[in-house]
Amino acid sequence: MSEDFYTNLSHEERKIIVDKGTEAPFKGEYNEFFEAGLFICRACRSPLYESNTKFNAGCGWPSFDDEIEGAVVRKEDFSAGRIRTEICCSKCDGHLGHVFEGEQITEKNTRHCVNSLSIQFKSYKNLSKVYFGAGCFWSVEKLFKIQKGVYLSQVGYMGGDTDNPRYKDICTGDTNHVEVVEVYYDEKVISFTDLLNIFWENHNPTTPNQQGFDIGSQYRSVVFYTSENQKKIAEESILVQELNWKKTIVTEVIIAPIFYRAEEYHQNYLNKNNLGICGV
């Protein structure tokens, strides 16, 4: 370890990074944090994890299923009376946490269990964000996740009347929330118009509160925009799309309210369970 990297750490940060401590579960600032960006080492500022590898393991600490190549070193740890694998920053050797395998939570079957005090988040400034509701969010997410230029996609609930809804609440139809996919994308690689074309081509925008056999307000067609330019393009796109349908398009274009991330088992659901796209 190089003390130069630890000079400016707080007492609490040194307890974790230098003394290999563990912060209290469910208390760290990044436990329930799912934005698009980069997680770096709090001591030496080296990149460690892309945010698109982060997931909610329910363990109380930030969890990642992959690291940036060469960023993390693994060591045997006998401190808890059993063999564990400690993970440290490869540049400064600061303690991050532990890594576990074989838990069947993600496709990569790996969980880096990391202390929030060991890392810092740096958001990506080149990405735009939008939300689409187009029926069952499992299929909608899979469609957007595979697109070149989409950095991060995750499913959740928006536009309703209750705070922190859960899936069982959504299924009652009483919350007025929509099943949506949040899409972070790079405009230099894939345009908002490109995303809209995928949206139009993969659901029926003329059926209120219904996609195929899925019926309910949670399945309504909606674009939740985050910029005035997105709003303008979406509204113009509807006028063009009207020519392709015999019925009136009922898609809503609304400024994005609070996004409530869905339970972890819904994230990347079709890929995790080796399932194809649900047909409309």
- The residue-averaged pLDDT of 156-178 equals 95
Give the Cα separation of 9 and 15 in Å (integer): 10
**Max alpha carbon distance in the chain (Å)?**
70
Q: Residue 35 corresponds to which tokens in the numbers above?
A: 């934005």
- The residue among 68, 65, 269, 12 whose CA lies nearest residue 155 is 269
pLDDT number for residue 273: 85
Give the Cα separation of 40 and 67 in Å (integer): 11
Which sign does the torsion angle of CA 102, 105, 108, 110 carry? negative
92 counts as catalytic:
no
Q: Which entry of 44, 59, 136, 278 is annotated as an active-site residue? A: 136
Whether residue 126 contacts residue 33, with contact meaning beta carbons closer than 8 Å, is answered with: no
pLDDT number for residue 79: 84
Task: Judge whether residue 33 has pLDDT over 90.
Answer: yes
Residues whose CB is less than 8 angstroms from the CB of residue 36 and which lie 6 or more positions away in sequence, other chains included? 51, 52, 123, 124, 127, 129, 151, 152, 184
Each residue of 112-133: pLDDT tens digit?
999 999 999 999 999 999 999 9
Q: Which entry of 41, 88, 89, 113 is annotated as an active-site residue? A: 113
Each residue of 128-164: pLDDT tens digit?
999 999 999 999 999 999 999 999 999 999 999 999 9
pLDDT number for residue 4: 84
113 counts as catalytic:
yes
Give the Cα separation of 207 and 102 in Å (integer): 43
- The residue-averaged pLDDT of 17-39 equals 97
pLDDT number for residue 274: 82
pLDDT number for residue 280: 44
pLDDT number for residue 277: 66
Task: Judge whether residue 111 has pLDDT over 80.
Answer: yes
DSSP character at residue 107: T
Residue 225's DSSP bridge partners are 255
Which domains are present in the chain? 3-123 (2.170.150.20), 127-272 (3.30.1060.10)
Each residue of 34-73: pLDDT tens digit?
999 999 999 999 999 999 999 999 999 999 999 999 999 9
Each residue of 222-280: pLDDT tens digit?
999 999 999 999 999 999 999 999 999 999 999 999 999 999 999 999 988 888 766 54
CA atoms within 13 A of residue 180's CA, in its CB half-sphere = 29
Residues whose CB is less than 8 angstroms from the CB of residue 7 and which lie 6 or more positions away in sequence, other chains included? none
Give the Cα separation of 110 and 47 in Å (integer): 19
Question: Residue 47: how many CB atoms within 10 A of its CB?
Answer: 16
